Amino acid sequence: MNIFKLILIPLVVLSINPFFAQKISIGPEVGINLIPIEKSALGNNYQLGYYFGSQVKYYFSENFALSSGLFATQKKKSYSHIDTTTTADPFAGAISEFMNPEGSPPGGGTEEADVYNTTNGVASELYLQLPILANYEYKKINFYAGPYTSILLNANRKEVYESESTAIDISTFIPSEYSALEGLLNGLTNNDPESASYSSIDGLATIDVGVIGGIGYRIDKLNFNLMYSYGFLDYRKDKKNNSTDPHQLVQFSIAYLFNIKIKQKKDSEKEINSSESNLGHKKHKNKYDLGIK
């Protein structure tokens, strides 16, 4: 129910606003998102995402307006997790039996080794976003602030897999003059990273809610905007014991807006009423001028 309220409330606000607005502007808007996807000791790593859609702006006066629209926006997140499994380590068992033949069980000892499987990935998420931004304009400089609601449509993932084992590396016992044999053994136990790409929204939150604030500059019908977006919700369905990791990004966009004057209908009605009044006055005057009783 909360999800439907988040979507329904902005739609109700947008449907009411035209009755009170003095002017409406509408047009396409395109831009790019600068997204911090990974934090490190040396700083943040950023990637670019796309942003496009249609903007609608309701003017209540020369300075105050309400901006909204529907936009396709790309957001990204990096993730990493480690799975631990165990596997048999035959070399460890053989070495243990060789070093201590009397203490080894019949048939040789059985040893186990831990295997750490690491997955590093980036999820590129496509959202349909509906912002509701209060807008104040002063000398062609615009200030924006307000909430947004977005729905996840799709997600493309790129992942890299690595495995690391505590099993004994038999190649370390081979003399250097037998390097060819060492290369063969390394080939049999190759742990080079593997990669994969696929589309899936499994494990990702389908709703994102947050706030947007920014500044813009208008040149006639062109609007240049610089925004900062901060989400309130974690991008995962289940963050488990991890801290909240919301979507954050810096956005630069250009919009081309056409003005629609919604007071034209009222003005035309006044002209029609005025014409009918004048016509009635003329008829009334002509009646007495002709001497008709």
pLDDT value at 152 more than 60: yes
- Spell out a b/e string for 173-200, using b for 16 or more CB atoms within 10 Å of the CB, else e: ebeeeeeeebeeeeeeeeeeeeeeeeee
Question: Does 216 or 41 have the greater pLDDT score?
Answer: 216
Q: What is the mean pLDDT of the chain?
A: 77
- The CATH label, of 2.60.120.260, 2.40.160.20, 2.60.40.420, 1.10.8.80, for the domain at 2-80+123-162+196-262 is 2.40.160.20
Give residue limits of the domains in the chain.
2-80+123-162+196-262, 263-293
- pTM for the model stands at 0.71
- Cβ neighbours around 61 below 10 Å, total: 11
Number of helical (H) and strand (E) elements in the chain, helices listed first: 4, 11
Question: Does 289 or 110 have the greater pLDDT score?
Answer: 110
Question: Does 119 or 12 have the greater pLDDT score?
Answer: 119
- The strand ranges marked E within 132-189 are 133-138, 141-165
pLDDT value at 265 more than 70: no
Closest among 214, 169, 162 to 193, alpha carbons compared:
162
Q: What is the pLDDT of residues 182-236, one digit of tens each?
A: 555 555 455 677 888 999 999 999 999 999 999 999 999 999 999 999 999 999 9
CA-derived radius of gyration, the chain: 34
Instruction: State residue 41's pLDDT score.
Output: 65
